Amino acid sequence: MVRTMTITGLVTGFVVLVSGVYILSSISDDLYSSRRDLALQDSARATLAAQHDLDASDASDRGSLSTLAASVRRTVQDTSSSQMVYLRRQSGQIFFPEAPPPSFTNRMLVDAVSPELAREVATDDNPQYWQAVTFVGEDGNAVPGIVVASTLNFPAGAGTYDLFIGYRLSDTQDTLSFVQRTLLITAAAMMAFIGILVWIMTRVVFRPIRAAADASRKLAAGETDARMPALNDEYFDVLSEGFNDMADTLQSRIRELDDLSEMQQRFVSDVSHELRTPLTTIRLASEVLQGQQEGMAPGQQRAVEVLGAQLDRFEVLLGDLLEISRYDAGYVTLETEATNLVALAHEVVDGLQPLSPGLIEVRALGGYAPVDVDARRIRRVISNLVGNAIEHGEGRAILVSIDSNASAVAISVRDWGIGMDADAVEHVFDRFWRADPSRKRTLGGTGLGLAIAREDAAVHGATLDVWSRPGVGSNFRLTVPRADSISTFMSPLPLIPDDVAAEDGDPQATGGWLRRPGRRTRREKRR
């Protein structure tokens, strides 16, 4: 709408400007031409009257010729509409002592006569000559005007005289100024009228578009009941009907999906809860069998051990399913407290070190300052990352690095195991996804660990990233912002390990700015 009004205003302004300049130029030329023609006619009449007086005179001496010159000047003033008269003998004539001296009625006319005009009068045979001039008074005020020149023949051999009559065009200038003001006022009024008209028309024309934009914006924002109104416009009403039908279909599909998702979440939660009762019973039975292992055959003892291990795994799976169902339902409670992440990492590593055939090194470059986090969830994230490194590290050493900067604290877990290709990296956080399904699990995971770890990171406003390469290993990095008010932050640890970046010359080795992800759960803090 603004663009349309701007373009219309510019085009209208250009047309008005061109039209105004043309009209003003035409009026100015017409006024000037009319005033010039009147001045020429007036000068010709005065010149004829003066020449008639000269032809009827018999003056022969200096005194009578001077009196005759004064009489001629008065005749010109009386005959013409101008009182500016300048009479002088043409230059270049034979000296005649009886010739009367030059005479004038206004000094401005004498100053306005140019040499070019005097030369044309003296050399050409035309009866009249004119020139546009500017009369400058003693007070410095400039007035446009016209000087008309002609010749008079004096008797008694006095010679030929040039007659200059000046005409002021101040009245013409006043008329032109009035026309200019009138045109400016008219143009301003026309621009205002056209602006109001265009504003009204654009509001009428763009009203359907605004209605469609508002409805689509509301629908995109999640207001599934948003609809486009009917505006009694043939084409827009067709669009409105199609849009509303689409919105109705989309709303019904969303409701179906919401109901299905809610049923699924309720089913998982109910099943998890219901399975705890038989699980407890089986657990008790397993413990009774484990207490009687000494009198059992070796095969029976092995069966009892497998039963106990699978019960432990089943119990962990139920816990993970309940946790995932809480995240899916959007109800997660964070119990935050000031936590030293370096100490937390040491606790996790000390607990998992007996399960690792290789050394797990904790390298703390920073991060000693406490950060408000849910220690239980961050511990679970680190445990999952270190556990995966043990599973896929091929018995090699594992490096847990911790560092911090002004905006974030980062923890990375690096292993030199089998690694993953690009396709596996894209799915590594999917639920129940395994890069190598045939691979034996050392820690008996459920396939939900990394999915829960990413949810635990997201609920803190943190990021969990992964880099991996087949045969080189993997590097998982958790970056936690120091405060809720921090929306963007730079991870203090690189995602691509330094040894790999040094070999490849990768410019992304130092990482980049991270944007705090939007939380997908309702977060409640407890201090």
Q: Which of 104, 46, 40, 107 is nearest to 76 (CA)?
A: 46
Strands (E), 278-339: 331-333, 337-339
- The candidate with the shortest Cα–Cα distance to 342, out of 380, 369, 372, is 369
Residue pointed to by tokens 């995932």? 324
CATH number of 234-326: 1.10.287.130
pLDDT higher than 60, residue 443: no
pTM over 0.95, yes/no: no
Whether 385 and 467 have beta carbons less than 8 Å apart is answered as no
Q: What is the pLDDT of residue 411?
A: 94
Task: Give the strand pairing for 331-333 and 522-524.
Answer: parallel
* Highest CATH level, class, for 2-178: alpha beta
pLDDT at 410: 94
Q: Calculate mean pLDDT across residues 305-323.
A: 74
By DSSP bridging, strand 398-404 and strand 360-364 are parallel
User: How many residues does this entry show for the chain?
Assistant: 527
Answer yes or no: is pLDDT of 526 > 50: no
> Is 329 or 131 the better-scoring residue by pLDDT?
131
| pLDDT at position 476 | 94
510 pLDDT above the threshold of 90: no
Q: Give pLDDT, residue 272.
A: 66
Quick one: pLDDT at residue 269? Answer: 67
Alpha carbon distance 324, 449 (integer Å) = 10
Question: Domain coordinates of the chain in residue numbers?
Answer: 2-178, 234-326, 330-524
- CA 461, CA 481: separation in Å to the nearest integer? 7
**Domain 2-178 matches domain 330-524 at the CATH topology level:** no
pLDDT tens profile 85-143: 988 888 767 767 777 888 888 888 888 888 888 888 888 778 888 998 988 877 778 88
196 neighbors 142 (Cβ within 8 angstroms): no
Task: Give the model's pLDDT for residue 160.
Answer: 85
Higher per-residue pLDDT: 125 or 384 = 384
Q: Which pLDDT value is given to residue 197? A: 86
Least confident of 187-201, 439-453, 462-476, 507-521: 507-521
Residue 244 has pLDDT above 50, yes or no: yes
Q: Percentage of residues in the chain with pLDDT exceeding 90?
A: 18
52-91 pLDDT, tens digit per residue, is 988 888 777 778 888 888 888 899 888 888 889 988 888 7
3-state secondary structure of 406: coil
State the pLDDT at residue 492. Answer: 92
The residue assigned the tokens 């070999």 is 503
Neighbour tally for 385: CB within 10 Å: 28
Statement: residue 522 has pLDDT above 50? no
Beta-strand ranges (E) seen in 222-315 are: none
Model pLDDT, residue 511? 55
Q: Tell me: pLDDT of 275 over 50.
A: yes
- CATH code for 330-524? 3.30.565.10
Mean pLDDT value across residues 236-258: 83
Q: Which helix (H) or strand (E) holds 36?
A: helix 2-56
Cα dihedral: 153, 157, 160, 166 (round 10) = -70
Nearest to residue 4, comparing CAs of 176, 144, 204? 204
DSSP 98: T
Is the pLDDT assigned to residue 447 strictly greater than 80?
no
pLDDT value, residue 412: 94
Structure confidence by residue, pLDDT tens digits, 3-45:
888 888 888 888 888 988 899 889 888 888 898 899 999 999 9
Strands (E), 56-107: 84-89, 103-104
